[in-house]
Amino acid sequence: MSAPALASLRGRAGSFAACALSVFFGTVLMTGFTSLIETGQADPVSEVDGETLMVMGAVIGSWGVLIVLAAVASTVAITVRQRTTELNHLRVIGATNRQVRSLVRRETVAVALVATLAGLVPGLLAGRLLLSLVADAGLVSSGIEHRLGVVTIGAIIVSLLLVAVVASSLAVRQVTRRRAGVTAEPTRLSRVRAIGGVVLLLGAIGQGVVGSLVASQSDDPFVAMQMLGSLSIVASLGLALLAPPVVTMTARGLAGARGLAGNASHLAATALARRSVRASGALTPIVMFVGVAVGTLGLMALHHEFSVGAGDNPDAATVELLNYVVVGVIALFAAIMIVTTTTAGVLDRRIELARLRRIGASRGDVVRAVTTEAFVLALVGIGLGLAGSLATVVPFAILTVDGPLPSSLLWIVLGTALVAIVVTVGAAWSAVRRTVRTSPAVVLAA
């Protein structure tokens, strides 16, 4: 199946772009922070500097790895689902389920391997830049040699390839389980996805309870931040996995209000209801972006407002830098994934959008319908992300708040929501504008 896999990659380069970009940027992020751990373990580095580097690499790296792997799995699944019709055609003309699954796995490995190798050098440079910034901030001694060994590189490559293969296998399994020739979109949440979402949510709740109990018995003002800081990531990922029913219910509500927005609302509601599972894949980076940004920035706002004794702690600068770097790096990665998945999703619907125009929809109708879909998905993602951020903000507030909540929390929520809407709708608008410029006859004849 190697020749068919390579031919498919050449013929559908655009569809694999989102997968390649997510793996590439994920490699850069993982390599940069993982290299800090290895640098901190080197012999010439002092114990204090080594601990600082290892904490930065381990804390931010573990949070980043979780988001990277989730983004890679999401974009790989989107890429496979976009090819449902093509894969069914292969089965109709005689390809077995095993051959189809093998084809998809080989394609995924080829794309992920190339993207991973391409991201190693930028990741190495990112690690050196991070080390330089940390040294310039006075958190570690200057002159520390940056290190990145073969074992670490191998672990990064294997982990990304493994996640990509597992995600593609699960996605293609849903296609091959249906009878050949059946191309209807799945509308029900898969069992694996439902179980994964519930496990992550229960894990976040359990860790929140344990972390709150531990932090309440500690005099260290940063224990609560360490125990509760990552819960928004876990909870947001769990909610993202459970998103399809939320998308379906939202689409039904939009359909009920179609008189308020005309054709665009009706077309958007119909498309979202029919494509709820596929559309929810684009929700993952939105949910993660909002959950991480609001959860971490909200935690820092509460910490500055109510924590006592932290200002004299010599580790305060390190902890604050850690949290702001977490927000900056992970939010940037999530924003890139929002643009990538949204754009790929719109461009993959060229034939569908061309058919709408052939049956009477104007260019404006199509543009408004797609941007309305993006706006609705952004709102759903914001809602789920805010719910996920509560896993960090609520227990931390219970432990620290001694008065009314700071007004900065509201501005954090509004600012994050605005960025999510602008990025999502802007990416959809840009992609659909390029799509409708091509004549429907040309698209359908291709």
Residue 24 φ then ψ, to 5°: -60, -55
Of the candidates 57, 43, 55, the one whose C-alpha atom is nearest the C-alpha of residue 144 is 43
Does the pLDDT value for residue 180 go beyond 80? Answer: no
CB atoms within 10 A of CB 319: 20
Tens of pLDDT, residue by residue over 294-345, are 988 888 888 777 664 445 555 566 666 666 776 777 778 778 888 888 887 7
pLDDT (tens digit, 9 = 90+) per residue, 210-248? 888 887 777 766 677 777 777 888 898 889 888 888 887
Strand ranges for 272-357 from DSSP E:
none
Predicted confidence at residue 382, as pLDDT, reads 94
What pLDDT shows up at residue 216?
A: 78
Q: Looking at the predicted structure, is the pLDDT value of residue 62 above 70?
A: no
- Regarding pTM above 0.85, the answer is no
Q: pLDDT band at residue 23, thresholds of 50, 70 and 90?
A: confident
Position 306 scores a pLDDT of 64
Q: Give the lowest-confidence range in 61-65, 183-187, 307-311, 420-424.
A: 307-311
Q: Which residue has the higher pLDDT, 178 or 230?
A: 230
Q: Which residue has the higher pLDDT, 100 or 184?
A: 100
Q: What number of other Cβ atoms are within 10 A of residue 12's Cβ?
A: 16
Residue that wins the pLDDT comparison between 10 and 286:
286
| Distance, CA of 399 to CA of 229 (rounded, Å) | 13
Range 107-128 average pLDDT: 88
Average pLDDT over residues 144-157: 85
pLDDT at residue 5, as a whole number: 56
Q: CA 397, 401, 406: angle at the middle one, nearest 5?
A: 90
pLDDT tier at 423, thresholds 50, 70, 90: very high
Mean pLDDT of 153-159: 87
* 398-426: average pLDDT: 85
Supply the pLDDT for residue 6. 61
Return the domain boundaries, the chain. 1-184, 190-446
**Average pLDDT in the 198-220 region?**
83
For residue 50, pLDDT beyond 70: yes
User: In the predicted model, what is the mean pLDDT of residues 34-57?
Assistant: 79
pLDDT at residue 378, rounded to an integer: 92
Q: What is the pLDDT of residues 352-411, one digit of tens each?
A: 788 888 887 778 888 888 888 889 899 999 999 999 999 888 888 888 776 667 778 889
In this prediction, residue 1 carries a pLDDT of 46
In Å, what is the CA distance from 401 to each residue of 77, 248, 390, 394, 395?
42, 37, 15, 10, 10
Q: Which amino acid is at 137?
A: A
Query: Is residue 3 over pLDDT 70?
Result: no
Rounded CA gap, 112 and 122, in Å?
16
Share the mean pLDDT of the chain.
78
The whole-number pLDDT of residue 339 equals 84
C-alpha 165/C-alpha 162 separation (Å) is 5
Dihedral of the alpha carbons of 314, 320, 326, 332, in degrees to the nearest 10? -140
